[in-house]
Structure 1
Amino acid sequence: MTRTLRLTMFVAALSSAAPAFAADTALRKDAEALAAATGDELIATRRYLHERPELSNRESETGQYLAAKLQALGYQVQTGVARNGVVAVLKGGKPGPVVALRADMDGLPVTEEVVLPFASKVKSTYDGKDVGVMHACGHDTHMAMLLSAAAVFAKLQARLPGTVKLIFQPAEEGRPAGEEGGAELMVKEGVLSSAPQ
């Protein structure tokens, strides 16, 4: 995805979710400039996560990595949501709604067969079988994009209308048999409460 398209999607998502953001032309332009500057870090984060996938309900190291990054940015962070999920809250400096953005965390039981410096070499057990694990459908990219957005929000915190809630959801690909997890468990544990957790 080109940087321009990624930036356009980012700003469009914010504008539709928070009309006060859309109405503040200067804030929107500053957010666009900051988002455009995140490209190299976004790529590095995506490659780091791509190389270290974890299966559904097993995303403990991924959750720790995300939590550390978000805490360093100044977010109020809750870990262990629906087992390994992470919820991060940033209160803006102006009144407004709570806007939630979500990314999925888990990899798939698929062996990566391409030769890249950041290719996954992770092995695990799935359904009683030894398998390779990889981010085969973009969850590494989703997490990297949401972390980049988190950095932009943090830099604009005093000017943000409302509260930003970032939800990193485990077990999107399907939890192992006999285990609770995923979006259903996150909702049960209150992730959609409008008040910051």
Structure 2
Amino acid sequence: MARIWATLIGYVFGNILSAMLVGRFALHVDPTHYGSGNPGTANIGAVFGKKWGIITCAGDLLKTGIALLIVHLLFPDKINLVYAGLGLILGHCFPILNHFDGGKGVAIAALLSIIYDFRVGLITLLIALLLTIVMQNLTIPPLMFILLFSIYEVTQTREAGIVFLIITAIMAFKFRHDIVAYFTGHGKRVDILY
């Protein structure tokens, strides 16, 4: 039962799309009508500037941290954090408050991995950062990070690893158009060092 409650708490917080809040209250626009149309950090940053991208990312990290803290306090068993993360990803990617059209969940997955398994989360995120610098792409590196993290976690705790693989599949589904664009040579190049 705790796993169900953890997932529901995550889903409720996941529905809070920072990109939509920044768009509506700070920029007075609907971010889904600009750039890629994705209500997420990368699109906000690309269209409206780095400052707004950072604020959007911070909002997504904040909602993730609050949800995970609440779940930890209510249901201290570590496995419940994974289910809260699943709920957060589902809520962020398929928010009922935004007609099931949400972001891609990269910031959520990043913080979830760090909180769940700090050492492995940090290592896989550093690998993703290096890949991002080398590939100048924001599609493949985050998927590689969550996939590597998930595979490792399967070897540690099968249940947690399977849930992380489900999270990976959800993110891959949200990135599906970007994946096709990358492998057909039409992917957007992003120099994060610049």
Q: Same fold (TM over 0.5)?
A: no
**What TM-score results when the alignment is normalised by the length of structure 1?**
0.29
**What TM-score results when the alignment is normalised by the length of structure 2?**
0.29
Higher strand share: 1
Structure with greater contact order relative to length (CA < 8 Å, sep ≥ 6): 1
Higher helix share: 2
